[in-house]
Amino acid sequence: MNKKLYVKLAVTNIKNNSLMFLPYLFTCIVVIALFYTINSLVNDHALKTISGGNFTIDVMKFGSILFTVLSLFFLLYANSFIFKKRKKEIGLYNLLGLEKKHIRKLLILESSLLAFFSMLVGIAIGLVLNQVVGIAMSAMMKVPLTVSTISLLAIIKTVVTFMIIFMIIHVFNLKQIHSVRVIELMKGAQIGEREPKAKLFLAILGSILLIAGYLLSFSVKDPKLDLAEIITAIVFVVAAT
């Protein structure tokens, strides 16, 4: 198969599966826009000049890390749902004569097109959202705050971060193809979700972390001075959840 045929087939697949891809694509765009906005404000010098600005930046830096981890798991889950629905289609390609190496190339092209489009649109929306958030923060803090229009550092960080996330998602898809037989791929979309099994140890650990997180949050007197306690409490609650 030549490159033009791969590209044509990848574009056709995205169009034919648009009902599945659009919610996933919309989710990617929103997540990328929010990620860019957070990191753009973190790197903005104007925020450092106002009262409480450094504290806000510290909180947003932690929020950026937490947001990255949550984005990875959220997009992995959304992707696994789409891939499950497409297993029959991929199995059919295999039956029609496409080898797994051809299917891998096709998935690489599909993932690259979706990643490029979502990052392009997400950053574009993030540029606008950054200005809106800057105006809102200026109104809430009652201080003049002019955020930069474009943050090159935030763009680079956003592109690199989500390239890594999309690569992890793609590796997950390749692993699914490599480890599953054709007959299992053909029946993949018909297999229902298994009922999750309760695990006593994780339930007890989650309860302890949740209680500890809330107790720690109640002990905070001054958010500016007790930033470490706030971050620890957030980590405990998120981990427990």
Show the tokens assigned to 213: 């997180």
**Same domain flag for 51 and 146:** yes
CA nearest neighbour of 21 among 110, 108, 105: 110
Say which residue the tokens 């550092």 belong to.
Answer: 153
Residue 12 has a pLDDT of 82
**Same domain flag for 200 and 186:** no
Q: Write out pLDDT tens, residues 39-56.
A: 887 776 666 666 666 667
Element (H, E) at 4: helix 3-16
Show the tokens assigned to 193: 């979700």
Q: Which domain holds residue 17?
A: 3-193
CA nearest neighbour of 133 among 37, 54, 36: 37
44 and 145 Cβ atoms separated by less than 8 Å: no
How does DSSP assign 172-218, residue by residue? HHHHHHHHS-HHHHHHGGGSPPPPPPP-HHHHHHHHHHHHHHHHHHH
**Same domain flag for 105 and 156:** yes
**Same domain flag for 57 and 156:** yes
User: How many Cα atoms sit within 13 Å of 52 on the Cβ side?
Assistant: 11
* Number of folded domains that form the chain: 2
**Same domain flag for 75 and 36:** yes
Q: Within a 10 A sphere around the Cβ of 139, how many other Cβ atoms?
A: 10
**Same domain flag for 112 and 225:** no
**Same domain flag for 99 and 130:** yes
Spans of the chain below 50 pLDDT? 189
Q: Which residue, 153, 170, 193, sits at the end of a domain?
A: 193
Q: DSSP letter at 148?
A: -
**Same domain flag for 126 and 136:** yes
**Same domain flag for 108 and 226:** no
Rounded Cα distance, 140 and 148, in Å: 18
**Same domain flag for 212 and 185:** no
